[in-house]
Chains A and B, each alone.
Chain A
Amino acid sequence: MAKKRYPETKILSKNFDKENSWTFDVARENGAYTMFEKALKEMTPDQVIEEVKTSRLRGRGGAGFPTGVKWSFVPKDVDKPKYLALNADESEPGTFKDRWLMELDPHMVLEGCLICAYATGLSTIYIYVRGEYPLSQERLWGAIREAEEKGFLGENIQGSGFSCNAYVHTGAGAYICGEETGLLESLEGKRGHPRIKPPFPAVEGAFGCPTVINNVETLAHVPWIIEHGGEAFAKQGIAPDPDNPRSNGSTGTKLFGVSGDIKTPGCWEFEFGITVKELLYDYAGGPLDGREIKAVIPGGLSMPVLTADELDVPMGFDDLVKVGSGLGTACAIVMDDTCCMVEASENIAHFFADESCGQCTPCREGCHWMEKIFKKFNANQGTRSDLDLLEGLFVNIEGRTICALADAAVWPLRSIIRKFRHEFVAKMTPEEQAAEKEAQAEKARETAGVS
């Protein structure tokens, strides 16, 4: 009997298929800005924050921080301006969900921003869009212009006394500007060197002022939460683990993407709970003809890989951590049996080495060092001690730097050299391969002797 397909739930993506979905008229027909109006007219800012807290909405930018809690950190009575920096840098490899939102429903994104602005009492929104997304920039600017015309942006919005402006700020090509404090530095016209936290941006962010930083998809969820209430959102998806008081669950829906060695790459919206396998086989069409899936990074490039045997796990924040990986951006990259994991490692290491902002020693030097070692393997010059050295470097890089880019470099690479050691052995010098064989045999004898 054919298994039932895990159903799609179109909330964020409800307008994706409509013609001219990005225009004000189409969006408005489908309810755009009504929830902003509701918040303005019927709710206090604190009530908005409470709803979002109740929803257990967690950040969709990768770190999964509870959004309502983040908003409540923004100080209320300060005589400084406050800012929203919408993180639309989306530079995580394999990830394109925010682009879909910005290109296909910029008014929903903008409405989420406005509700956030109202809730946290801020009046300037900067949408930091990566430079490589010209169409997103264009659609967002278009939405801003239209919203201004229709009186949803600007002074005294809808006669409520609330004023707010929004601008698109263009990045110029740097992965690290997706990291929230790197983004702030870049917004201020500097190199995107992440800052050490604390101070947290909610207290001291852009231009020294309190700043909310959220991912595009995170805020796009907010209108639905206002419409249906936090409770309803919290009922969707995966409830918090009752045995773990710190678990926040994975509530609501999420855009999931798949790319790489797969038949029909794409982006779909589900309630949390779909497994990696269901996503890959039931929606992304499974492996290319005649091939087999070998490894999957479930969310972007920055998470540990899952092997083909490990895919029966729900795409949830806590669920993936439990199996030693992480949700990341929930856009999976698939590698099949034609992919050499040693070459993939070099490719991955190169990305992080290339994108390291360069300020912390372990990241600046370590990422390149790792890449060089993988290069050595790919020239069939690897040794067993190089693998030990890599393990040593991981220790010296992970958790020793200003931002999480260095951790993000370690995680996939460490999982690959552990799970695919045999591929690395195959790229060692003949002597080293012999030595490895001998060591394995020795180990086998020992185990046999013990049992």
Chain B
Amino acid sequence: MPTIKINGRDLEYEPGETVIQVAHRNGIDVAHYCYHPSMSPEGNCRICMVEVEGWPKPVVSCKQLCGENMAVQTESELAQSARAGTMEMLLVNHPLDCPICDQAGECHLQEYSYELGHGESRSTTPKTHLPKNVPFGEEIVYDAERCIKCTLCVRFCNEITKTGELAMANRSDNEQVVMTSKGEFTTNYSMNIVDLCPVGALTSRDFRFKSRLWFMDFTPSLCTGCARGCNVTIGGRGGRFMRMEPRENQDVNQWWMCDPGRLGYGHVNSETRLATPAVRDANGQWQPATFEQAIVAASAALKDARESHDVLLDGGATLEELEAARALASAMGGQARFAAATGDDADEFLIVNEKGANAKGAEMLGLERQADAAPAAVLVVERDGNVPAALRDGAGAVVAFVTDATNVPDSVRVAFPYGSWAERSGLLVNVDGRVQELRAARQVGPGNLSPAFALMEELTGELDGNHVPRDRGELVAAVKNEKAFAEVAFPAGVAAGQTVGAGS
């Protein structure tokens, strides 16, 4: 393979690769705004300029193809001054009111300007003013003054979703992004432009001004809106789910996620979350209980249960929960089943019709899929979509693991709080059979939740004296032993006896 010299290192490149691609692949940082690996480079922001030895002018590394005998310097005096010059230009009309900007803390402009800047602007002339609060569809707000005209958002709609809602309009320093007069995105992926935007020019209405970033905690996890299992980062603060952003995974979601998935967290922040175990007293009134009390009451209730000995789980339940549920059902002499929604909104991109984030895993473990109401003794429900009221209330269950107190059917005598996906750790098998790890997000949910799989294991122990409750590693090991999982790769670090994942 041919090689190029970058900062004195000889680096291999494929013909057709740009300098920035080779630099990034080899861990050499090159500042960039308008470049994104998924889209055609435009080379307009001019921040990624580097020096090629012997060339009179600096070049943009995002457009410059590698060539043999080229020696590139990313930190030479010329490269640095070119970058600093561009930075100064970017800031001359920028509001620079970072303290009230939503992007503060993850703004690349802020980041590089600290690194490069002219601490104080040399500008002695008034700034140009542009529209500041323009709605882009229902979810996004655009601020043309913060916008650095990198066109990433426009290219996203042209090249990735091919829906073309956005365009650059006007010229000169009046340039700004405009939206189709229809005022709506036809794509389900519009909010990715908020993440793409290198500055705070595009904000999500949902997240706008909700929290400063530095007060939040971020946890890498998954979206369970459908069985794609997009990799995400969940941001939480003080028990509340703040936002979710995609995390790059080339094999699953590349850099993206869908809007419904991103916004599908209403139930996490519900005002009626079930926060502690509850047991019905002799009068049928709910009383809060400790986990120990609830386990005892639940095993009594299950022993009494006549109508069914089955367990019905939400299609988003983890492999660990499914495995624990299978043991619980067999201790009662019944079986575990799951229910999951099927949509009709699959596209060629990420969204799939299967809404059970772990439906595939459940099927691989041999669980039957339940479509109509049928009796069950134990219910595990996170999303109404997966286990709709008819199935939930029609089961006549006596023990329920529920996220929301309003989801407890009348028949239930013992209710355990169940974490939303954002609060649970465990393994999910996505639609393509890929095992991925869900991680409980820090600072999200009521807290103090015992994992459902652990509670089920304890219940099984109560019902079957021979059953020694298994920990998470043992549950995973049991799953791995299943024939259907023989050939399946598990994420590194999830090994027997090892507790994995943040927050678990």
Q: Are B173 and A191 in contact (CB under 8 A)?
A: no
Q: Which of A68-76, A287-295, A388-396 contacts B (4 or more CB under 8 A)?
A: A388-396
Q: Tell me which residues across on chain B come within 8 A of A356, comparing CB atoms.
A: 171-173
Which chain B positions have C-beta within 8 A of A366? 89
B273 interface residue (CB < 8 Å to A): no
Which stretch (B56-64, B339-347, B399-407, B442-450) binds chain A?
B56-64
- Interface size on A (CB < 8 Å)? 34
Known: A196-B60, A375-B125, A402-B44. A354 touches B85 (CB 8 A): no
Would you call B125 and A376 a contact (CB within 8 A)?
yes
Contact B45 A191 (CB under 8 A): no
* Contact assessment for B92 and A365 in the assembled complex, using a CB-CB cutoff below 8 Å: yes
Partner of A396 from the list B44, B63, B89, B149 (CB cut-off 8 Å) is: B89
In the assembled complex, B283 has its CB within 8 A of some CB on chain A: no
Q: B241 CB to closest chain A CB, in angstroms?
A: 37
State which of A196, A355, A365, A373 has its C-beta within 8 Å of the C-beta of B43.
Answer: A196
Interchain CB contact under 8 A, B89 and A365:
yes
**Cβ contact within 8 Å between A396 and B88:** yes
**Number of B positions contacting A (CB below 8 A):** 37
B173 touches A386 (CB 8 A): no
In the complex, how many angstroms separate the beta carbon of A309 from the nearest chain B beta carbon? Answer: 30
Is B85's CB under 8 angstroms from A353's CB? Answer: no
Within 8 A of A (CB), among B73-98: 81-82, 85-86, 88-90, 92-93
Contact of A400 (CB < 8 Å), options: B57, B63, B92 = B57
Tell me how far the C-beta of B376 lies from the nearest C-beta in chain A, rounded to whole angstroms: 60
B128 within 8 A of A: yes
B197 → chain A closest CB, angstroms: 16
Is the Cβ of B122 less than 8 Å from the Cβ of A362?
no
Query: When chains A and B are docked, how far (Å) is the Cα of A365 from the Cα of B172?
Result: 8
Assess the A361–B148 pair: CB atoms within 8 A.
Answer: yes
Q: Which residues of B contact A401 (CB under 8 A)?
A: 46
Contacts of B123 in A (CB 8 A): 369
Q: Give, as a whole number of angstroms, the nearest-CB distance from B242 to chain A.
A: 32
User: Does residue A110 face the partner (Cβ distance < 8 Å to B)?
Assistant: no
Contact with B along A387-428 (1 / 0, CB 8 A): 001001001100111100000000000000000000000000
Q: Which residue of chain B has the shortest Cβ distance to A386 in the bound complex?
A: B124
Q: How many angstroms from the CA of A394 to the CA of B85 in the assembled complex?
A: 10
**Docked pose: A375 CA to B124 CA in angstroms:** 11
**Smallest distance from the beta carbon of B330 to chain A beta carbons, Å?**
65
Question: In the bound complex, what is the Cα–Cα distance between A376 and B93 (angstroms)?
Answer: 17
User: Residue among B88, B126, B171 with the most chain A CB within 10 A?
Assistant: B171
Please tell me if A277 contacts chain B, counting CB pairs below 8 Å: no
* Beta-carbon contacts under 8 Å, B104-144 to A: 122-126, 128
- Interface-central residue, A358, A365, A375, by most chain B CB under 10 Å: A365
Is A358 a contact partner of B60 (Cβ separation < 8 A)? no
A368 touches B124 (CB 8 A): no
B172–A362 CB distance below 8 A: no
* In the complex, chain B residues whose CB is within 8 Å of the CB of A174: 171
* Residue ID in chain A nearest B151 by CB atoms: A359
Nearest-Cβ distance from residue B311 to partner chain A, whole angstroms: 60
Question: CA A185 – CA B88 in complex, angstroms?
Answer: 29
Q: Which of B46, B128, B171, B172 contacts A361 (CB 8 A)?
A: B46
- Bound Cα distance A176, B46 (Å): 19
Q: Out of B63, B125, B175, which one reaches A369, CB within 8 Å?
A: B125
Decide: A358 and B46 in contact? CB cutoff 8 A.
no
User: Which residues of chain B are near A361, meaning CB under 8 Å?
Assistant: 44-47, 86, 89-90, 148-149
The answer, yes or no, to whether A107 is at the interface (CB within 8 Å) is: no
B249 adjacent to chain A (CB < 8 Å): no
Smallest CB gap from A175: residue in B: B171
Given contacts A359-B149, A369-B125, contact A400 B172 (CB under 8 A): no
Check if A360 is an interface residue, CB within 8 A of chain B: yes
B252 in the interface, Cβ–Cβ < 8 Å? no
Residue in A364, A372, A383 whose beta carbon sits within 8 Å of that of B149 in the complex: A364
Give every chain B residue within 8 A of A368 (Cβ-Cβ): 93, 128, 172-173
Minimal beta-carbon separation of A403 from chain B (angstroms): 11
- Residue-wise interface mask of A (38-71) relative to B, using a CB-CB cutoff of 8 A (1 in contact, 0 not): 0000000000000000000000000000000000
A357 within 8 A of B: yes
A367 within 8 A of B: yes
Please report the C-alpha to C-alpha distance between residue A362 and residue B148 in the assembled complex, in whole angstroms: 11
Say whether B384 faces chain A, with CB atoms less than 8 Å apart: no
Assembled-state Cα–Cα distance A420/B251 (Å): 63
Q: Which residues of B contact A369 (CB under 8 A)?
A: 89, 92, 123, 125
Which of A359, A362, A386 is within 8 Å of B42, CB to CB? A359
Q: Distance (Å) between the CB of A404 and the closest chain B CB?
A: 12
Over the window 162-175 of chain A, the binary record of Cβ atoms lying under 8 Å from chain B Cβ atoms (1 yes, 0 no) is 00000000000010
A87, B420: Cα distance in complex, Å: 63
B residues in contact with A373, CB < 8 Å: 124-125
Q: Report the minimum CB–CB distance from B157 to chain A (whole Å).
A: 15
> Do A358 and B172 contact each other (CB < 8 Å), given the known contacts A369-B123, A376-B125?
yes
How far is the CB of A284 from the nearest CB of chain B, in Å? 33
User: How far does the alpha carbon of A383 sit from the alpha carbon of B88 in the complex, in Å?
Assistant: 20
Whether the pair B44, A360 counts as a contact (CB closer than 8 A) is yes
Q: Are A353 and B171 in contact (CB under 8 A)?
A: no
Answer whether residue B170 sits at the interface, using C-beta atoms and an 8 A cutoff: yes
Q: Which residues of chain A are near B19, meaning CB under 8 Å?
A: none
* Residues of B contacting A353 in the complex (Cβ-Cβ under 8 angstroms): 172-173
Residue numbers in A under 8 Å from B327 (CB-CB): none
Please, could you name 17 A-B residue pairs with CB atoms under 8 Å apart, sorted by A?
A196-B60, A358-B168, A359-B42, A359-B44, A361-B47, A361-B89, A362-B46, A364-B175, A365-B173, A368-B93, A368-B128, A369-B89, A372-B126, A373-B124, A375-B125, A376-B124, A399-B56
